[in-house]
């Protein structure tokens, strides 16, 4: 129901001109508008739901919109407009922060596509099969064992050199994997965008599923790198 | 959000932490993970080949208190049960016993998955027919 509303054109409250959903201002009279209830972060910038994105252009658009929407500019306007400028500004900030970051942008788009990420799964969920392949689980488990050993020996006031060098090696390897994931993610962005242009729902689904799998793996590895860093820095 | 006393008890005094010989014929190993939070859980069972009773269960979990408590409880519960009885354990039972809040339900799901994975591994090793298991998934 909400998705249908998204494409519906609305009218400016002030002059009655037609508006596209997500447009913060009326193009005709320049008045600030109420933020739509189902506006996406892509809509805020008037962008298509694509993943390959010119971040510096996004930044410029962000600053331009920020300057126009800033609540200070509405100090003399009606209460309603003041409220809207505040809401629009906060929406704009969220949208910018999310879209400029490659991983958050991808996760956001996947969420728009109905994928649940970093959420608890309800008990009755049938899709609870582990999406992480067994080989990665083994690696994660082994590394966690080493990390635990490292922490234990540190607690005893020892610094196990062999262990430290093993961990450093593992860390380098996982950092390499992270870089690898990011490269793969970028190429999946291209596939997603192309599928969107071609309106190929199968190709879209395929790119979507591969992005979900990739991000799952990435999250594991990212946490590992963080844990290894913590253990090594003590 | 506070942990329940039972979670804290299992966290402070985890039961059956450790490892069984993975290569042993009687041992089934389940290694599962939750990509959402990065938890990994290994649960192992040692099954009596005659009676199919789980005589020993060990776990090792890297994760939050609820994940540790869920797997600790899971090992307690499977011990002394037959393989098919152990398959009856539902994550909702774990949620109830530990009074897990909704955001921690996935920890109990992980523990149930670990039990199933361990039993699945044992069955595969011992060539046990999958009849019960497929009946389970149909039900």
- Asked, for residue B132, whether it belongs to a domain, the answer is no
pLDDT tens for residues B48-65? 999 999 999 999 999 888
Residue A16 pLDDT: 83
- A104 with A183: CB under 8 angstroms? no
| Parallel/antiparallel/unpaired status of strands B27-34 and A18-19 | unpaired
The CATH number assigned to the domain holding A201 equals: 1.20.58
For residue B52, give every residue at least 6 positions away whose Cβ sits within 8 Å of its Cβ, in sequence order, or none: B82, B83, B84
Tokens in use for B68?
Answer: 């540790």
Domains held by chain A: number? 2
Long-range contacts of B54-58 (CB under 8 A, 24+ apart): B54/B78, B54/B79, B54/B80, B54/B81, B54/B82, B54/B83, B54/B86, B55/B79, B55/B80, B56/B20, B57/B16, B58/B16, B58/B17, B58/B18, B58/B19, B58/B20
Residue whose C-alpha is closest to residue A120's, from B116, B115, B109, B65: B109
Owner of token pair 């010119």: A54
- CB contact under 8 Å between B31 and A134, yes or no, is yes
Q: What is the CATH number of the domain that holds A25?
A: 1.10.287.110
Respond yes or no: is residue B64 known to be catalytic: no
Q: Residue A149: helix, strand or coil by DSSP?
A: helix
Q: Which of A100, A124, A152 is the last residue of a domain?
A: A100
Residue A107 within any structural domain of the chain = no
Catalytic residue among B8, B34, B37, B53: B37
CA angle, B105 then B109 then B113, to 5°: 170
| Residue B48, min C-alpha distance to chain A (Å) | 26
From residue B22, how far is each of A21, A196, B58 by CA, in Å?
58, 47, 11
Q: Which element (helix H / strand E) includes B105?
A: helix B105-126
Give the residue from A118, A126, A131, A137 with the most B CB atoms within 10 Å of its CB, the best one to mutate. A137
Is A128 inside any structural domain? no
Whether B88 is covered by a domain: the verdict is yes
Same structural domain for residues A48 and A92? yes
Question: Which of A76, A100, A124 delimits the end of a domain?
Answer: A100
DSSP A34: P
CA distance A170 to chain B (A): 17
Query: What CATH number corresponds to the domain at position B115?
Result: 3.90.1010.10
Chain B residue with CA closest to A127: the answer is B109
Contact criterion met (CB < 8 Å) for B36 and A134: no
Q: CB–CB of B40 and A120 under 8 A?
A: no
Q: Which residues of chain A have pLDDT under 50?
A: 1-6, 119-130
In a domain, B98, yes or no: yes
- B58 strand-pairing partners: B44
pLDDT tens by residue, A176-222? 989 999 999 999 999 999 998 888 888 888 999 899 889 888 888 88
Clarify whether residues A28 and A73 are in a common domain. Answer: yes
Predicted local distance difference test score (pLDDT) of residue B58: 96
Cβ-defined contact of B35 to A216 (cutoff 8 Å)? yes
Across-strand partners of B56? B46
Alpha helix (H) residue ranges in chain A = 2-6, 41-44, 55-69, 79-100, 102-112, 134-155, 161-198, 201-233
Reading the block at residue A4, the tokens are 């249908």
Task: Find chain A residues with C-beta within 8 A of B60's C-beta.
Answer: 141, 145
Query: Is B134 within a domain?
Result: no
Q: Would you say B7 and B16 are in contact if contact means Cβ atoms under 8 Å apart?
A: no
> What distance in Å separates the CA atoms of residue B117 and residue B115, rounded to the nearest whole number?
5
Q: Are residues A94 and A169 in the same domain?
A: no
Decide if B136 is inside a domain: no
Q: Please give the residue range of the domain that contains residue A143.
A: 134-233
Beta-carbon neighbour count of residue B52 at 10 Å? 16
Q: What pLDDT does residue B117 have?
A: 94
Residue B129 lies in a domain: no
- Residue of B11 and B29 predicted with greater confidence: B29
Find the domain containing B35 and state its range: 5-124
Q: Which residue of B has its CA nearest to A141?
A: B40
Tokens of A14: 């002030």
Q: What is the pLDDT of residues B68-116, one digit of tens each?
A: 999 999 999 999 999 999 999 999 999 999 999 988 888 999 999 999 9
Query: From chain B, which residues contact A within 8 Å (Cβ)?
Result: 31-38, 40, 42, 60, 62, 91-92, 95, 102-106, 108-109, 113
Closest CA to B132 of B92, B88, B91, B93: B88
When pLDDT is averaged across residues B128-138 and rounded to a whole number, the result is 53
Q: What is the ipTM of this complex?
A: 0.80
Number of H helices, E strands in chain B: 6, 3
Distance set, CA B104 to CA A214, B69, B88 (Å) = 24, 11, 21
């Amino acid at each position: 129901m909400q998705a249908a509303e998204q494409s519906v054109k609305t009218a400016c409250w002030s002059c009655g001109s037609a508006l596209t959903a997500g447009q913060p201002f009326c193009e005709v009279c320049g008045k600030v508008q109420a933020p739509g209830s189902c506006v996406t972060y892509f809509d805020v910038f008037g962008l298509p739901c694509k993943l390959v994105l010119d971040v510096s252009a996004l930044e410029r658009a962000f600053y331009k919109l920020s300057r126009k929407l800033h609540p200070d500019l509405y100090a003399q306007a009606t209460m309603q407009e003041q409220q809207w400028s505040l809401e629009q500004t906060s929406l704009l900030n969220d949208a910018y922060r999310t879209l400029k970051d490659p991983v958050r942008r991808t996760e956001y788009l996947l969420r728009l596509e109905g994928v649940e990420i970093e959420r608890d799964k309800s008990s009755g969920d049938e899709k609870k099969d582990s999406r992480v392949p067994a080989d990665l689980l083994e690696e994660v488990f082994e590394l966690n064992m080493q990390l635990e050993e490292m922490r234990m020996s540190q607690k005893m006031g020892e610094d196990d050199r062999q262990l430290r060098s093993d961990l450093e090696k593992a860390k380098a390897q996982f950092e390499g994997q992270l870089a690898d994931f990011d490269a793969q993610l970028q190429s999946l962005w291209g596939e997603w965008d192309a599928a969107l242009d071609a309106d190929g729902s199968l190709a879209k689904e395929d790119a979507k599923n591969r992005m979900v799998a990739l991000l799952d793996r990435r999250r594991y590895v990212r946490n590992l790198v963080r844990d290894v860093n913590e253990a090594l820095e003590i | 959000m506070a942990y329940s006393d039972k979670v804290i008890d299992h966290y402070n005094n985890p039961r059956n932490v450790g490892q069984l010989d993975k290569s042993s014929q009687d041992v089934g190993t389940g290694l599962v993970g939750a990509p959402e939070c990065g938890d990994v859980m290994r649960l192992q069972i040692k099954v009596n080949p005659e009676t199919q009773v789980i005589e020993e269960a060990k776990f090792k979990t890297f994760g939050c208190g609820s994940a540790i408590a869920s797997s600790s409880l899971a090992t307690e519960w499977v011990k002394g049960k037959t393989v098919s009885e152990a398959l009856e354990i539902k994550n909702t039972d774990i949620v109830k016993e530990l009074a897990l809040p909704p955001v921690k339900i996935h920890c109990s799901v992980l523990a149930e998955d670990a039990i199933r994975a361990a039993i699945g591994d044992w069955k595969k090793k011992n060539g046990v027919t999958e009849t019960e298991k497929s009946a389970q998934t149909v039900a």
